[in-house]
Chains A and B, each alone.
Chain A
């Protein structure tokens, strides 16, 4: 067994960890999507049923959960675009590491931006819900 990670099937480093991150965030998003279609479907039951369930999305604890979900979506989105570059852009495979650091930088900026806007709206509602 080699002491370095290269030479094994799972090579570690940026390539493997971005793959792990893509899988984990993908599964999380998929299960939320199933629930989200179900809760939205309540608009066909009655306005009251929809409003009651959607109001659970408006409590402070869920606001933090929404931030986690959106952070997962943003990573999956930006890393997915990186995957497309790695597959279709001639220089993609050569620069896949640099692309990942770029993805993480854009992800951090987008997530922080979203967090500031979403948490200020969700935790300090103008009308004082």
Chain B
């Protein structure tokens, strides 16, 4: 049986006259879509590890105090783990909320203000969290940690 092959309309480049909007945004939305999937895979590993070590071993939630955090962040692996988790989770979450704002806020002014608040919160939280991880000093008087001796 012979079939006639038709080129699908979307396979080639679309003639510029059919573009509703000038493509000034580049492929940002495609990159954002891809980022959600790639960061998502990493976040599953990072967050499952985080929940396991903080809630499911030893005393669980009752074991968390300053000493517990100091013990973890005395190790560069956990510093990197938490830093990666902070950045990926914040960017993943911010992009998710950005999508929701785009879906539900109709007016340009509302969208503008909601996104301004969102991006402001994101920058504050990411900068704060990053500074805390990098400037944290696990050594308090009487500490028994190896790095503090």
Residues of chain A having any CB pair with chain B under 8 Å: 23, 26-27, 29-30, 33-34, 37-38, 40-41, 43-44, 47, 50-51, 54, 57-58, 63, 66, 70, 73, 77, 80-81, 83-84, 87-88, 114, 117-118, 121-122, 125-127, 129
Known A29-B93, A37-B125; further 6 A-B contacts with Cβ < 8 A: A43-B136, A50-B65, A77-B40, A81-B41, A117-B60, A121-B60
A38: shortest Cβ distance to chain B, in Å? Answer: 8
Main secondary structure of the interface of B (DSSP, over half): helix
Q: Please tell me if the beta carbons of A47 and B47 are within 8 angstroms of each other in the complex.
A: no
Q: Please tell me if the beta carbons of B62 and A114 are within 8 angstroms of each other in the complex.
A: no
Residues of chain B having any CB pair with chain A under 8 Å: 37, 40-41, 43-44, 47-48, 51, 55-56, 59-62, 64-67, 69-70, 86, 89-90, 93-94, 96-97, 100, 121, 125, 128-129, 131-132, 135-136, 140
Interface residue from A23, A29, A83, A122 paired with B60 (Cβ < 8 Å)? A122
The 9 closest A-B CB pairs, nearest first, are: A121-B60, A47-B66, A30-B93, A125-B62, A37-B129, A80-B40, A77-B44, A41-B132, A26-B96
Main secondary structure of the interface of A (DSSP, over half): helix
A29–B40 Cα distance when bound, in Å, is 13
Q: Please, could you name 30 A-B residue pairs with CB atoms under 8 Å apart, sorted by A? A: A23-B96, A26-B97, A27-B96, A27-B97, A30-B97, A33-B93, A37-B125, A37-B128, A41-B128, A43-B66, A43-B70, A44-B131, A44-B135, A47-B66, A50-B66, A57-B64, A58-B64, A66-B55, A73-B51, A77-B43, A80-B40, A83-B37, A84-B37, A114-B55, A117-B60, A121-B55, A121-B56, A121-B60, A121-B62, A126-B59
